[in-house]
């Protein structure tokens, strides 16, 4: 195959796969240098905002969705750190891997976690945590299909071959160093940052590119998916995998390192590493499932029904899917201790009001839940005019009832907050409904409420919706 044709195929493949990497980050020309006046956003600032922002890639190692649930080694471990520090976790999927350090230093994220190797060049841009794992770099090539062909097992055998790598990857650094001392004549072709190492392994397996390099832990996992690739040739010694933070994030770095060193974290780390890198057949089943964001592009088996009924609400179907995930994890047999049942977790009295009971079909359960949501939308339409705000009031009302939410509005008026804005206003006042002095206020008439649950419910649905939006499903 001619070089021009191969490059054309790579570009076509990039167009095919780039949809998998939809995210919230913006394009930046070069990650080569951190800005001299980079923002100071350390742990104190992160705690003040209450949210940790993760920059990562959409891959079977770092972050993907399976049956509507966020998964990935890096995601799960960062999530555990966020929980330990009482922080929400926001995930921003990188559109271009070459931009990651620039985006971090511009304050678009708080840490990078995507199977990132520690290198000298990278240490000039960011600070790394203590290592979470160790790996080596391997050559990814197709197994020979003809008897006269043989595997490459020596560096000098790369002479005249095309090797696809990212310009800002650790692979590129090692190739340059190795070529300086032991020139092989290999032709290095820079891959676009819109396509990650895992996708390049796929292109090798499909014969669309000749060779690439990958971290051994990722390559071993992908060799489970593709039985026609060989990863036996090591091209580097052991490398340490860690997370990256800005150089001014000293307190965050210290907190991360202390957490990584904790005995319970080490147990969690070992369990999670086993889940993603050792139990490869289980991981293969998840990744290649029709309900994986990496292959099947479905959130659940109920997507078509959700799409049909979400149009009645004029909601994005992914928002309704996020709500159903929070209600039942897409389990149609789910039952709560209070008696709520089905995908939409309707209470028996509400279900009866909208014409169903536990004997009705899954589709009828969704239809009844949407009918209740339409009722709540009508209830709030003349009270909350902003559609985005109204969604939050509807979600809270679905969880705890509109009466308690109205009580929170009255408390908001009393304490000088905005009764028509949810975040940091009515949500805060719903939390006050567990205190007697606020229950005694004029107009507050629906009694005690454990407000933390509906407030967290709204937060969880919106966060889940954001995850679904970040993926092309």
Give catalytic residue positions: 327
Helices 197-205 & 216-225 angle (0-180, nearest 10)? 40
Shortest CA distance to 89 belongs to which of 46, 128, 129, 25? 46
SS3 percent helix, strand, coil of the chain, rounded to 5, is 50, 15, 35
Q: How many helices (H) and strands (E) does the chain have?
A: 20, 13
What is the rounded distance in angstroms from the CA atom of residue 384 to the CA atom of residue 414? 18
Q: Report the Cα–Cα distance between both ends of the chain, in Å, rounded.
A: 34
How far are the Cα atoms of 43, 100, 131, 269, 270 from residue 261, in angstroms, in the given order?
18, 26, 10, 10, 12
What is the rounded distance in angstroms from the CA atom of residue 114 to the CA atom of residue 416? 44
Per-residue tokens: 383: 């009270």
Shortest CA distance to 356 belongs to which of 373, 369, 338, 339? 369
How far are the Cα atoms of 48, 73, 82, 231 from residue 86, in angstroms, in the given order?
11, 20, 6, 41
Q: How do 162-166 and 187-191 pair as beta strands? A: parallel
Per-residue tokens: 418: 């905005």
Residues in Cβ contact with 154 at an 8 Å cutoff, skipping those fewer than 6 apart: none
Backbone torsion region of residue 330, taken as left when φ is above 0, otherwise alpha when ψ lies between -120 and 50, otherwise beta: left
Strands (E) across 335-398 are located at none
Instruction: Outline where 18-164 has alpha helix (H).
Output: 43-49, 73-84, 100-105, 120-123
* Burial grade of 238 (CB within 10 A; 0-12, 13-18, 19 or more): exposed
Shortest CA distance to 129 belongs to which of 30, 25, 262, 221? 262
Residue 52, beta-bridge partner list: 89
* Burial grade of 264 (CB within 10 A; 0-12, 13-18, 19 or more): exposed
């Amino acid at each position: 195959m001619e070089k021009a044709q191969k490059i054309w195929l790579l570009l076509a493949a990039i167009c095919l796969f780039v949809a998998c990497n939809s995210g919230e980050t913006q394009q930046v020309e070069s990650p080569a240098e951190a800005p001299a006046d980079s923002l100071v956003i350390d742990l104190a600032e992160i705690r003040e905002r209450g949210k940790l922002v993760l920059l990562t890639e959409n891959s079977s190692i770092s972050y993907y969705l399976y049956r509507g649930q966020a998964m990935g080694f890096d995601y799960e471990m960062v999530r555990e750190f966020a929980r330990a520090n009482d922080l929400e976790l926001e995930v921003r999927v990188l559109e271009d891997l070459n931009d990651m350090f620039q985006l971090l230093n511009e304050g678009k994220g708080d840490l990078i976690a995507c199977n990132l190797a520690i290198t000298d060049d990278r240490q000039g841009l960011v600070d790394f945590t203590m290592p979470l794992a160790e790996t080596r770099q391997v050559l990814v090539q197709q197994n020979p299909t003809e008897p006269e062909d043989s595997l490459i097992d020596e560096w000098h055998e790369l002479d005249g071959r095309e090797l696809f790598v990212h310009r800002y990857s650790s692979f590129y650094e090692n190739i340059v160093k190795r070529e300086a001392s032991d020139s092989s004549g290999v032709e290095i072709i820079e891959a676009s940052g819109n396509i990650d190492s895992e996708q390049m392994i796929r292109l090798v397996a499909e014969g669309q590119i000749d060779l690439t390099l990958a971290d051994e832990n990722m390559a071993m996992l992908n060799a489970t998916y593709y039985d026609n690739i060989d990863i036996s040739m090591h091209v580097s010694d052991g490398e340490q995998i860690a997370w990256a933070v800005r150089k001014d994030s000293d307190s965050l770095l210290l907190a991360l390192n202390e957490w990584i060193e904790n005995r319970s974290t080490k147990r969690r780390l070992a369990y999670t590493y086993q889940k993603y890198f050792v139990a490869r057949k289980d991981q293969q089943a998840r990744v290649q499932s029709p309900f994986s964001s990496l292959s099947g592009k479905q959130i659940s088996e109920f997507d078509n029904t959700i799409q049909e009924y979400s149009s009645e609400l004029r909601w994005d179907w992914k928002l309704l899917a996020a709500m159903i995930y929070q209600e039942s994890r897409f389990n149609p047999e789910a039952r709560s201790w209070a008696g709520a049942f089905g995908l939409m977790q309707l209470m028996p009295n509400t279900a009866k009001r909208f014409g169903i009971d536990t004997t009705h079909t899954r589709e009828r359960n969704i239809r009844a839940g949407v009918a209740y949501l339409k009722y709540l939308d009508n209830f709030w339409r003349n009270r909350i005019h902003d559609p985005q705000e109204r969604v939050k009031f509807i979600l809270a009302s679905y969880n705890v009832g509109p009466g308690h939410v109205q009580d929170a509005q009255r408390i908001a008026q009393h304490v000088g907050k905005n009764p028509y804005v949810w975040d940091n206003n009515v949500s805060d006042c719903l939390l006050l409904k567990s205190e007697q002095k606020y229950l005694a206020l004029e107009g507050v008439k629906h009694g005690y409420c454990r407000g933390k649950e509906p407030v967290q419910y709204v937060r969880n649905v919106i966060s889940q919706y954001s995850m679904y939006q970040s993926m092309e499903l």
